[in-house]
Amino acid sequence: MQQVSACLACQSVRTSLPTEPALVTTADYPIHKLGADIFSFAGHEFVLYIDRFSGYPLVKRLKSNSAAKAMAFLAQICSMFGFPESVRVAGRPQFWGDLKTFCERCAICLETFAPYHPEFNGLAKVTVREVKRLMKKCHKTGENFDEQLLYWHCLPLAAGTSPTQAFLGRSPRTALPALPPSEPDLATFRALRHARTTPKPPHTPTQTGPSRPTSFERTHSRPRLENKALA
């Protein structure tokens, strides 16, 4: 076994190892747990933090020194809303080195995972995809991205509650026509969010009727006809 593990040719043709199960994370209140990612659009880099309870994204353009600016943006978020319990990021030290120091100083658990495994930070990856789609739309129409992001925050999700309502506990005032303000149903929202992040057991097909014969059975179970010409 040691010779096989040390042989580069053997390792290059070996069977792929099974994928590790994705991490399942549930948050109980806003800023409890965050996801983070860095992405590029139109030649610029952006950092995104996503609240894992409400799905509320916070986006900032990085003009220079990505690692320091990403850490500074998290510090700004913490100064407004408090420290999260954990932050999950991709394992890219060139981006998150300064963030590790900040998290250690503020008693925040920094969860890292290997790059190119989006299933471990699925919420951040999906949100980045939607944010880039909104950026493309604003780039074509000339609309202000920050204003359109505010409107996107107000779209209702589970239990008719928007990310803004779940994150801030209220609906912000916007230029769009809206229904009379209502209290967000956070209990139902939390239950539905937990149900979406709870792993489902593998599906086991149940047989409710007689089994269908296989192709082999259909071919070899026919009654053999007598050859009367030879009888």
Taking only the tens place, the pLDDT of each residue in 117-130 is 666 777 888 899 99
User: pTM for the complete prediction?
Assistant: 0.69
Angle at 108 between CA 68 and CA 86, to 5 degrees: 100
Mapped to the 3 state alphabet, what secondary structure does 126-192 carry?
HHHHHHHHHHHHHHHHCCCHHHHHHHHHCCCCHHHCCHHHHHHCCCCCCCCCCCCCCCCCHHHHHHH
For the segment 35-61, the average pLDDT, to the nearest whole number, is 91
CA 72/CA 65 separation, integer angstroms: 11
Which is more confidently placed, 23 or 108? 108
**pLDDT winner (highest mean) among 11-15, 81-85, 223-227:** 81-85
Mean pLDDT of the chain: 75
Task: Answer positive or negative: Cα dihedral of 135, 136, 137, 138.
Answer: positive
Q: Is the pLDDT of residue 131 over 90?
A: yes
pLDDT in tens, 147-169: 999 888 888 876 678 888 889 88
For residue 83, pLDDT beyond 70: yes
Domains detected in the chain: 33-172+183-195 (3.30.420.10)
Which residue pairs from 150-159 have beta carbons closer than 8 angstroms and sit at least 24 positions apart in sequence?
Answer: 150/174, 151/176, 153/56, 153/57, 154/178, 157/55, 157/189, 158/188, 158/189, 158/192, 158/193, 158/196, 159/185, 159/188, 159/189, 159/192
Categorize the per-residue pLDDT at 97 as very low, low, confident or very high, splitting at 50, 70 and 90. confident
